[in-house]
Amino acid sequence: MTTLAVDCMGGDHGPRVTLAACRRFLDSHADARLLLVGLPEALKDFSHARASVVPASEVVGMDDPIEVALRRKKQSSMRIAIEQVHSGAAQAAVSAGNTGALMAIARYVLKTLDGIDRPAIASQLPNDKGGATTVLDLGANVDCSAEHLLQFAVMGSALVAALGGAAQPTVGLLNIGEEAIKGSEVIKRAGELLRAAGAAGTINFYGNVEGNDIFKGTADIVVCDGFVGNVALKASEGVASMIVGGLKQEFKRNLFTKLAALIAYPVLAALMKRMDYRRYNGAALLGLRGLVFKSHGSADELAFELALARAYDAARNNLLDRVRTRIDSAAPLLSADTAERSTATAQ
């Protein structure tokens, strides 16, 4: 039996969507149990043999500052969901609430794993090969050291393996050219560390990749700092929405184009389905002493259900132990590196 704690109040739509998604998820996962966390009034109409309500008296708003969410709303559904993981009542928590608040509360309640300086947010983006590329960090850390990027590579590898991808997924370092001499000092140093980790068998290092490689699927995992990852993600969303918007506009231009739209519709719908962001919903907060998954705030039933399924798979496949084991095996590299740098500083 795998138990998930669900923050039913989060997201743009709240219980209307989260509860409907919970029902679909329970129906398709006979081995799952859900702890539904939220205002009792909002959850009172839901009943299922494998679901129970955990009451909360507050809700973190999408615009609440992190400080408010963390210090003033100690009875929020988001916090209580994460506390279920901390107490061991659930193996993973899922929320569609405010990302900054979720990361801050998760970090405060669960703490980071030994060997991890900073948790990261990992998400999947569709690629040309019909699969998905896992990218991290997507916004939790604006300035990262080379060691942080190695930690991201190690955690991302554990995530992909736990979610049914390659056992030794390839890792690309996001850079502005394929050659090892490209990039900032931090990136060059990260390249050295990742190469060493590759040689030691800790990760399967592919080498440098560029922005377009995320969507080509050149490597299974792409690591970058959270600033760059966030900009790349949002720029990509911007292009996609410009193209889709442009298609709609062109097809609406006149009677002929409207007719063409009717005929082309099934083809366009097939394409949209392939690239549907909902299929990739459910970002992992990695590096914590417990599993937390973040759904898109605008998620609909299907998307939220898929985030639940992702958290369920991660919990069932022991993602937490996998991350721990991999981080332990990378420890010599991380500490050798620290020692070497102290020496360099001392000289």
What is the side-by-side strand order in the sheet with 51-55? Answer: 51-55, 32-38, 2-7, 92-95, 291-294, 283-286, 120-126, 132-136, 221-223, 170-174, 204-209
d(CA 245, CA 88): 46
In angstroms, what is the minimal distance from the CB of 31 to a copy of itself?
Answer: 35
User: Among 78, 174, 286, 330, which residue interacts with a copy of itself (rule: CB under 8 A)?
Assistant: 174
* Interaction of residue 346 with a copy of itself, rule CB under 8 A: no
In angstroms, the Cα distances linking 298 to 212, 275, 295, 303 are: 26, 17, 8, 9
Structure tokens at 178: 């394929």
Which CB atom, from 25 or from 152, has the smaller least distance to a copy of itself?
A: 152
* Interaction of residue 172 with a copy of itself, rule CB under 8 A: no
The neighbouring-strand residues paired with 283 are 294
In angstroms, what is the minimal distance from the CB of 52 to a copy of itself?
Answer: 37
d(CA 275, CA 269): 10
Of the listed pieces 1-9, 72-80, 107-115, 204-212, which binds a copy of itself according to CB under 8 A?
A: 204-212
Q: Long-range contacts of range 16-21, CB-CB < 8 Å, 24 or more positions apart? A: 17/299, 17/300, 17/301, 17/304, 18/96, 18/304, 19/43, 19/46, 20/301, 21/299, 21/301, 21/302, 21/303, 21/304, 21/305, 21/308
User: Among 257, 325, 335, 338, which residue interacts with a copy of itself (rule: CB under 8 A)?
Assistant: 257
In angstroms, what is the minimal distance from the CB of 241 to a copy of itself?
Answer: 7
User: Among 20, 62, 180, 247, which residue interacts with a copy of itself (rule: CB under 8 A)?
Assistant: 247
In angstroms, what is the minimal distance from the CB of 69 to a copy of itself?
Answer: 15
* Interaction of residue 70 with a copy of itself, rule CB under 8 A: no
* Interaction of residue 67 with a copy of itself, rule CB under 8 A: no
* Interaction of residue 126 with a copy of itself, rule CB under 8 A: yes
User: What is the residue type of 10?
Assistant: G
Task: Collect all residues with Cβ–Cβ distance below 8 Å to 35 and sequence separation of at least 6.
Answer: 3, 4, 5, 6, 51, 52, 53, 54, 81, 84, 89, 90
In angstroms, what is the minimal distance from the CB of 180 to a copy of itself?
Answer: 13
Interaction residues for a copy of itself, span 207-246 (CB under 8 A): 210-216, 224, 226-228, 230-243, 245-246
Which CB atom, from 128 or from 321, has the smaller least distance to a copy of itself?
A: 128
Structure tokens at 303: 């998307």
User: Among 28, 57, 274, 332, which residue interacts with a copy of itself (rule: CB under 8 A)?
Assistant: 274
Contact residues toward a copy of itself (CB under 8 A) are 126-128, 139, 142-143, 174, 176, 183-185, 187, 210-216, 224, 226-228, 230-243, 245-247, 250-251, 253, 256-257, 259-261, 263-264, 266-268, 270-271, 274-275
